[in-house]
Structure 1
């Protein structure tokens, strides 16, 4: 059998090096994020394969850590099985950490998420205990009368709009009004929900928020803009989330934006809390 020429042997070596590079680089990237020893390892491998690699920036490492922590918490809370989409959870957590950084939240480590991307026939409110890593409540919630029928598609911050308002809220004190015990909500997203207190957009119980109502009408009843709750749960929920906890109301509105969705602030807050 004819021996390979010198030129052929060189080509084989180059091909082998390229193959090794393709296999090793993903592993090197993982090492950067996994261990402080990544730098010397990557340098030696890069030198051995004649491939130049750069160490990720501190911000890239922090971003990867933030995403990892969010995904891990999402799994621990078992939220996928309970119908809360990861991207909605991640937005809610980003806002929670921003509000915590600003000192707007109390000592309770509770986050309430309402996803109006879901129909009213589904349980679309979650109260999350972030310290215990537990879902405390998962239940039905109504949207505003003029926001839509079964699906909430239109939102407003205007008085007498009878629509729901998207964004981040901080819960306030409770009072007794025409709906009985009710919880005041302070909207903190300028232009989207800051008229909530003036509009009396509050958490309260309503008999039109029930499985029986759904069976009869094919959807929940609707409020004047309040996130109305089932009569058999609203008092427990008010007791839990009142006085300085975060509420995030998500909906299908591409124009929505919030200063509280600043991931850099959220990352720094999370890093500080992890020591």
Structure 2
């Protein structure tokens, strides 16, 4: 009888101990979750104003330059500026660079799908036609490559370089910044040049622009103006929604250090805290 009572008491003791351990674990887990939520909330409060500062800066230029009216999608412009600031941070652009060029191959070649924007003046300097490569498609560019003899356009961020005179006349050398996507631009002789087939008459005759061997070809009427605006270490961003494209210059880490320029200057202020 005494052994039976002792057995019951032991079972009750271990049951109580087990319940106490479970309860303690639940309390600790609950407190941990609460602390984690509070930490996330604090993090959001810290990051949100910085992110909204960049978004506000992009929106301000987008609106003042009339980019929506001209047909440039906000998301594409935001990606272009993300790349621009990453390129600036990596010293790939001229220190006084304030001009960004955006080409959106999501749009048909009958649409004026090149935009040149002055960030300091918050002005759209030019909106015009630009051709894509023969291998990329007819009316729409749907295929992209960085391979020699593909005659396809290449996506991504480019930095403009020197002016030279070649078979297309006055032309502008380009350096592709995205490895595997456009970094073969020099070897392929992908440059910005004038082409007679980039005009309204060609659109009327063919229902599309003429096509290049992969170069972003523009109208002879505006080619010199474009070259003079964007030569000398300025950025071109060629966009299209395709699977697989990635770029280190779309890294958003710089948002934690972003201060919108108060005037025509462009700077990144390092976080010293």
Instruction: Give TM class, smaller chain.
Output: 0.7 to 0.9
Q: Which has the larger radius of gyration?
A: 2
1:228 alignment partner, SS class: coil
Q: How far, CA to CA, are the matches of 2:55 and 2:256 in structure 1? A: 9
2:140 aligned to which of 151, 172, 177: 151
Q: Does 1:183 align with 2:172?
A: yes
Q: Can you give the 5+ residue segments of structure 1 that lack an aligned partner in the other structure?
A: 1-53
SS at match of 1:127: strand
Q: Is the 8 A contact 1:123 1:141 kept in 2?
A: yes
Asked if residue 103 in structure 1 is aligned to residue 91 in structure 2, the reply is: yes
Q: Is the 8 A contact 2:130 2:198 kept in 1?
A: yes
Q: Aligned residue for 2:242?
A: 253
TM-score, reference length from structure 1: 0.78
Alignment partner of 2:224 out of 219, 229, 235: 235
1:223 aligns with 2:212: yes
Comparing 95-104 with 60-69, greater Cα deviation is found at 60-69
* Corresponding residue number in structure 2 for 1:17: none
State the alpha-carbon separation in 2 of the partners of residues 232 and 169 from structure 1: 23
Partner of 1:37: none
Displacement after TM superposition at 1:252 (Å) = 2.4
Contact 1:204 1:234 in 2 (8 A): yes
Aligned ranges 1:65-214 → 2 under 5 Å = 65-106=53-94, 107-214=96-203
Q: Which runs of 5+ in 2 are unaligned?
A: 1-40, 262-266
Instruction: Please give the root-mean-square deviation of Cα atoms over the aligned residues, in Å.
Output: 1.6
Alignment partners' CA distance in 1, 2:106 and 2:213? 18
After superposition, the Cα gap between the structure-2 partners of 1:197 and 1:237, relative to the gap in structure 1 and judged at 3 Å, is same
CA pair 271-147 structure 1, distance change in 2 beyond 3 A: same
Q: Sort the Cα spacing of 1:264 and 1:271 in 2 relative to 1 into closer, same or farther, 3 A.
A: farther
Deviation at 1:266, TM superposition (A): 4.7
> Number of aligned pairs?
223
Alignment TM-score, normalising by the size of structure 2: 0.78
Task: Output the CA distance in 1 between the equivalents of 2:48 and 2:250.
Answer: 18
d(CA) in 2 for partners of 1:200 and 1:111? 22
Q: How far off its partner does 1:140 sit? A: 0.3
Q: Take 2:235 and 2:62, find their aligned partners in 1: how far apart are those partners? A: 17
Partner secondary structure for residue 142 of structure 2 = coil
Counterpart of 2:158 in 1: which secondary structure? strand
Residues 131-167 of structure 1: per-residue CA shift (max 9 Å, x gap): 1111111100000000000000000011111000000
Displacement, 1:76? 1.2
> Structure 1 residue 108: deviation in Å?
2.7
The match for 1:60 is 48
1: CA distance between counterparts of 2:221 and 2:64? Answer: 27
Query: Offset at 1:274?
Result: 7.6
